[in-house]
Structure formats: C-alpha cells, structure tokens
C-alpha cells in the first residue's frame, strides 16, 4: 500500500492560492460578530512532490492554522487549496474523504495527541478500519506491526498503551498513525518542538528516511529555524498571518531579506 501510492512525477502536489482563514470575534449577549482575527491573510505557496517545505514563525503567526486548513480542521474563509489538480477547500466532507487518506498530520504534543484509553494497535489501526473496512482484524494487526517496524518501534508494543512510552516513542507512534493509510502528504505540525534535542535528531532523521523510502511530501511547521533549515528544501517565513519571505533553505540562511527572518535567525542559540 505504502510503496505503490506515490508516483515519481515531479511538480506541485499541493498549491495554496490566496488562502484566508479568519476567525470571528464574538461578543455581547447575542454573540454577535464584533470583528475578526486574520489568522491567515492571503497566503500562496506550492509544495512539490517529494519535497519538504518548511513553514517558520512564532506562536500566533498563523502557521498551524495553514496546516489545519489543508486537512480541513479549519474551514478556509477564502482562497483555494489545490491538491493534485483538485480544489479541496470547498469539497463536501464525503467528497473530501478520499483525500483524508492521502493527507495526514503529525501533531506537536505527543502526550495529548494519543488517546490514553486506546492501545497502540487501536490508535494506529483506527484509520485502517475506517478507510479499509474490508480488511480483517488479523490483516490490520499485521499491517500495524509492519508500521511499528518502519518507525523503529518493536512489533510487540502492539497491545501497550500510550503512557508506557516516552515522548520520542510517542511521536514515532504518531508518525506510524500518519503512515497507516495511503499517505502522500504529511503536515508535520511542530513534530519535534516538545522533544529533547537528542530525541529531536532521531525523529528528524526518521522523517527524512521515510520520505526517501516512501516518496512522501512534507509541510514542516516549526518555530526553530535551525531545524527547518536542516530538513527543508524550501522555507516560508510567516509573521502575523502573512508570508514575509520565501526562499530555498540555503538562501534563507545566507541572505535573509526580511527583518523578521533576521530576527528568527538571531534567536537560534549558537553553539
């Protein structure tokens, strides 16, 4: 399943055009709309197949909202999100369903993103149950075991629960869950920000290995420019809902154009 789904054709897999996501500010006894927060304000970019685009910015810059809009956890106010030629931003939820297989997300906090009452098999296998209802339980178990293998966990962790694992191991479980179905495009929303630097290196390497092996495409969201520069082919710098600079990873470091990019660069601790 994993190996077959990604064709080697280059070109944009995803393009975001003039995306706007506004959140209403409600108030008064009738909860009238008093104003709006422009979380994402007219943002456009493309992500090529098999590449990693890094999205950096501080808390509140709108980077997570973009990631969530792509997987339809936030409804876009305006603009288009084009995936393999189809505008997915306005599809009905049933029409969007096939795309839920292809587009996945890995969350920041490995402690809150895994249901503590489900076993690892149930957490990873849930997506299989939904998207491949014809699959037998044994097949699902075999598939989940294979996924655990792929992310560097032991196969016999299948029946354990999230609390038995460290932060890094939990993040591996989150990655296995994102890979369970026909994943092509993964929104990595601060996947290493909550981890120790030593574990961060392991997870970043794992993501890169999986990308090479499976031809995955990543939107890598983070606030740490050093990590983003390392993993990305192309970097977008966001501030206050807008992309203020976009360039190759090398150019961002060697020749930053925008003041805000320079501010982010200077904030990275120097060794």
Partner 1 sequence: MSTPLLHVENLGIHFGVGGDVVKAVDGISFSMQPGETLAVVGESGSGKSVTALALTQLLAMPPARIVSGKIEFEGRDVLRANDRELRALRGKQIAYIFQEPSSSLNPVFTIGYQIREVIELHRPDVDDVEREIVSALDRVGIREPAKRLGDYPHQLSGGMQQRVMIAMALACQPKLLVADEPTTALDVTIQKQIMDLLKELKKSSNMAILLITHNFGLVSDFADRVVVMFRGKIVETGPTAEVLLNPQHPYTRALIECVPKLGQKQRRLKVIDYAGIK
The rounded distance, in Å, linking the Cα atoms of 53 and 50 is 10
Shortest distance, position 184 Cβ to partner 1, whole Å: 23
271 touching partner 1, by CB under 8 A:
yes
- Binding to partner 1 by residue 167, rule CB under 8 A? yes
Stretch that binds partner 1, among 86-94, 139-147, 173-181, 221-229 (CB under 8 A): 221-229
Out of 1, 82, 91, 201, the only residue in the binding site for partner 1 (CB under 8 A) is 201
Least distance (Å) from partner 1 to the CB of residue 195?
9
Are 185 and 83 in contact, with CB atoms under 8 Å apart?
yes
Q: How far is the CB of 172 from partner 1 (least distance, A)?
A: 13
Among residue numbers 89 through 128, which ones bind partner 1 (CB under 8 A)?
none
Number of residues that bind partner 1 (CB under 8 A): 34
Q: Is 166 in the site for partner 1 (CB under 8 A)?
A: yes
Instruction: Give a three-class secondary structure readout of 187-241.
Output: EEECCCCCCCHHHHHHHHHHHHHHHHHHCCEEEEEECCHHHHHHHCCEEEEEECC
The answer for residues whose C-beta is within 8 angstroms of residue 162's C-beta and 6 or more apart is 111, 114, 115, 116, 118, 120, 123, 170, 173
Taking CB under 8 A as the binding criterion, the range among 69-77, 111-119, 137-145, 219-227 that sits at the site for partner 1 is 219-227
User: Residue 220's closest CA among 62, 56, 82?
Assistant: 56
Residues binding partner 1 (CB under 8 A): 58-59, 166-167, 196-202, 204-205, 208, 223-227, 229-230, 249-250, 253-254, 263-271
């Amino acid at each position: 399943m994993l190996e077959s789904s990604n064709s080697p054709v280059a070109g944009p897999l995803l393009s975001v055009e003039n995306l706007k996501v506004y959140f209403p500010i409600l108030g008064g006894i009738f909860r009238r709309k008093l104003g709006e927060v422009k979380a994402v304000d007219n943002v456009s970019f493309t992500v090529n197949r098999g590449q990693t685009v890094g999205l950096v910015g501080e808390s509140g810059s709108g980077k997570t909202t973009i990631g969530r809009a792509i997987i339809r956890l936030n409804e876009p106010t305006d603009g288009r999100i084009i995936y393999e030629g189809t505008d997915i931003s306005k599809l009905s939820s049933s029409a969007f369903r096939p795309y839920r297989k292809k587009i996945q997300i890995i969350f920041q906090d490995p402690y809150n993103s895994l249901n503590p009452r489900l076993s690892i098999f149930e957490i990873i296998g849930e997506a299989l149950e939904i998207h491949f209802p014809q699959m037998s339980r044994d097949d699902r178990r075999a598939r989940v075991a294979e996924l655990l293998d792929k992310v560097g966990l032991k196969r016999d962790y299948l029946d354990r629960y999230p609390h038995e694992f460290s932060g890094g191991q939990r993040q591996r479980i989150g990655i296995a869950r994102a890979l369970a179905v026909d994943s092509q495009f993964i929104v990595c929303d601060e996947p290493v920000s909550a981890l120790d630097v030593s574990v961060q290196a392991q997870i970043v390497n794992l993501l890169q290995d999986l990308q090479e092996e499976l031809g995955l495409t990543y939107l890598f969201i983070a606030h740490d420019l050093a990590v983003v520069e390392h993993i990305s082919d192309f970097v977008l710098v966001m501030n206050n809902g807008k992309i203020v600079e976009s360039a190759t990873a090398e150019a961002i470091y060697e020749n930053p154009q925008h003041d805000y990019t320079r501010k982010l660069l200077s904030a990275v601790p120097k060794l």
